[in-house]
Amino acid sequence: MTVGDPLAGWIPLFLSVRGGQPAVDWAYMGKERFVEPFCHDTLQRLVSRPFNRLFRRQSSLELLRQRAHSHPGLPLQGIVFHMSRCGSTLAAQWLAALPDSVVLSEPEPVDTLLQWPTPDSDGEMVRALLAALGQPRRERDCRLFLKADCWHMAHIERLLAAFPGTPWIFLYRDPVEVLMSHRREPGWHLVPGSMSGHGLHAPDELSCHPLGHGAWVLSTILKGARQAMLRHGNGLLLNYSELPAALESRVAVHFGIDTDVLDNAALRAVTGRHAKRNHLSFQPDAAEKRAAADPEVSELAARWLNEPYQDLEQLRKAALPAEII
């Protein structure tokens, strides 16, 4: 730890409200990196350590604002928004394999903050939290990337206002394939009522229909992505079918990644393995998911998702160079 800096090497573990006041719990991370597919995995590993169990620190939220001035963190160079189950974890792992980047993949403190009212969650506080989480982990680190949760599309205007001019991408996939993935391994947004803190309130008819609730949330995400693309000139649409090749071409260019770092064995290794289960090799499953879809999945996709998906496809294809289409 740096002399005179009692929080050197410490990061926000989670945010909470105690006695009616917002608070921050800190954990010591030192020079370790976020290398797991999700920040949650890294933070859980840190919190389980005896040192952090015994000496976890707490502070007011205001300390984040103060610390951002003395420890501004790495500049945010790109944000990854997504539909879920569409290759966003692959994109985040690929970015994390760059030799000079820190990637925050769905950090829970950010999710908590976005659900709080202002002024506790204003743009300055969002930047302060990212600064505390996005400190350089290696001497070469010079940039930060954020992978948002899929439902954070509901907050895209706030996030882009907090980081004006920052390039962002939106990843999405054939609706039937996404719904089949959630049928087998349900995501959090399938739980009715789970998205109320993010301002997403599904129709009452879906209160007892988890997959239908998820389909409605996904439709809202797709519609939000289209609106954001029409409003902002710094977005890029990317279909799952374009991966992994588009990472080295379209994503690298959009995020301003130098081509001289792309000839990297670590990057190539990422694209050859399962993004969430790194011990497994990647196996294409799009055709299998479509073939296994039952009438319920097909009907939900037709009711909620096919139209906004096709709207995005039209925007994406219109922006592609002629030789790629």
pLDDT for 281: 61
Work out the average pLDDT over 2-15.
85
Q: How far is CA 254 from the centre of its chain?
A: 17
pLDDT for 278: 61
pTM: 0.94
What are the distances in angstroms from CA 302 to CA 16, 165, 175, 206, 289?
40, 35, 9, 16, 16
- Treating both helix axes as pointing N-terminal to C-terminal, what angle do 210-231 and 175-184 enclose, rounded to 10 degrees? 140
The predicted-structure confidence for 213-272, as pLDDT tens digits, reads as follows 999 999 999 999 999 999 998 999 999 999 999 999 999 999 999 887 887 788 888 887
| DSSP output for 58-89 | EEETHHHHHHHHH---SPEEEEEEE-SSSSHH
**Is pLDDT above 80 for 277?**
no
Distance CA 38, CA 82 (A): 14
The predicted-structure confidence for 96-137, as pLDDT tens digits, reads as follows 999 999 999 999 999 999 999 988 899 999 999 999 999 998
**Is pLDDT above 90 for 189?**
yes
β partners of residue 80: 147, 169
pLDDT for 271: 80
Tell the CATH topology of 77-319. Answer: Rossmann fold (3.40.50)
Work out the average pLDDT over 295-324.
92
Long-range contacts of 275-278 (CB under 8 A, 24+ apart): 275/37, 275/87, 275/89, 275/90, 275/92, 275/93, 276/37, 276/89, 278/37
Count the residues in the chain.
325
Work out the average pLDDT over 48-53.
93
Distance CA 119, CA 284 (A): 45
**Is pLDDT above 80 for 321?**
no
Predicted confidence band of residue 284 (pLDDT cuts 50, 70, 90): confident
Least confident residue range of 41-45, 62-66, 145-149, 274-278: 274-278
Predicted confidence band of residue 1 (pLDDT cuts 50, 70, 90): very low
Work out the average pLDDT over 289-303.
96
